């Protein structure tokens, strides 16, 4: 049934009826499996991949990667401090890493000032946050497996043997 996830991850609009056909299964079986994945939280939600860079009159938002060094807490490890941080809506991704720093955040804001003030006023002031390094993202080429620019493809001839 894992193949359902593979199909939905590629195209969340695929209907249970269509998946049933692709996998030669009963629609009800597929529906049940999807419900189960949703309930267990394996399927978190269904979203749309956007490339807002090419929207006309788009007010560009600013994104930054932020390296954070924190002091882990007894009994909680990194989870507790991580939650303190990722609960902020400005934080759109949060990862715990091995290596020279601990947390990697993706933070989004209206402009550089907004992101900077989030870092200096909210983030750096949390107890246990030892230091931060901010990298502003200049351009997104590929995100979560999707190349964002429309790749010009030479069309196949419309009909051939």
Partner 1 sequence: MKISKLVEKIKPSGIREFFDLVIGMKDVISLGVGEPDFVTPWNICESAIFSLEKGYTSYTSNKGLYELRLAISRYLNNKFSLSYSPDRNILVTTGVSEAVDLALRAILNRGDKILVSDPSYVSYDPVSELAGGKVILVKTNESDNFKLTPELIKRHISKGVKAIVLNYPANPTGVSYSRKELLALSKIFIDNDLIVISDEIYDELTYDFPHTPLATLPGMKQRTIYLNGFSKAFAMTGWRVGYACGPEEIISAMTKIHQYTMLCSPIMGQLGAIEALRGSAKSVLEMKREYKRRREFIVSKLNEIGLCCAMPEGTFYVFPSIKKTGMNSADFAKKLLYKEKVAVVPGTAFGSQGEGHIRIAYASSMDNLKEATQRIEHFLKNNA
Strands 62-70 and 129-136 come out as antiparallel
Is residue 65 within 8 A of residue 137, CB to CB? The reply is yes
Give the nearest distance from C-beta 156 to partner 1 in angstroms: 5
Draw the binding track, 21-50, toward partner 1 (x: CB under 8 A; -: no contact): xxxx--------------------------
Q: Could you say which of 2, 11, 75, 138 contacts partner 1 (CB under 8 A)?
A: 11
For partner 1, the closer CB: 87 or 156: 156
For partner 1, the closer CB: 23 or 106: 23
Q: Three-state SS for 136?
A: strand
Q: Which one, of 93, 101, 110, 111, lies nearest residue 132 by Cα?
A: 101
Q: Point out which span in 11-19, 61-69, 74-82, 118-126 binds partner 1 (CB under 8 A).
A: 11-19
* C-alpha span between 65 and 135 (Å, rounded): 5
């Amino acid at each position: 049934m894992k193949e359902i996830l593979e199909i939905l991850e590629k195209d969340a609009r695929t209907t249970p009826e269509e998946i049933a056909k692709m996998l030669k299964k009963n629609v009800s079986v597929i529906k049940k499996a999807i419900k189960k994945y949703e309930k267990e939280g394996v399927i978190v939600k269904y979203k749309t991949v956007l490339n807002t860079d090419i929207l006309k009159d788009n007010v560009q938002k600013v994104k930054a990667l932020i390296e954070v060094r924190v002091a882990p807490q007894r009994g909680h490890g990194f989870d507790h401090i991580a939650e303190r941080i990722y609960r902020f809506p400005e934080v759109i991704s949060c990862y715990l890493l091995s290596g020279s720093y601990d947390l990697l955040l993706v933070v989004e804001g209206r402009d550089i000032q907004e992101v900077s003030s989030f870092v200096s006023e909210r983030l750096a002031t949390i107890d246990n946050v030892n230091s931060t390094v901010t990298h502003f993202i200049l351009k997104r080429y590929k995100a979560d497996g999707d190349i964002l620019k429309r790749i010009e493809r030479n069309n196949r001839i419309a009909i051939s043997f």
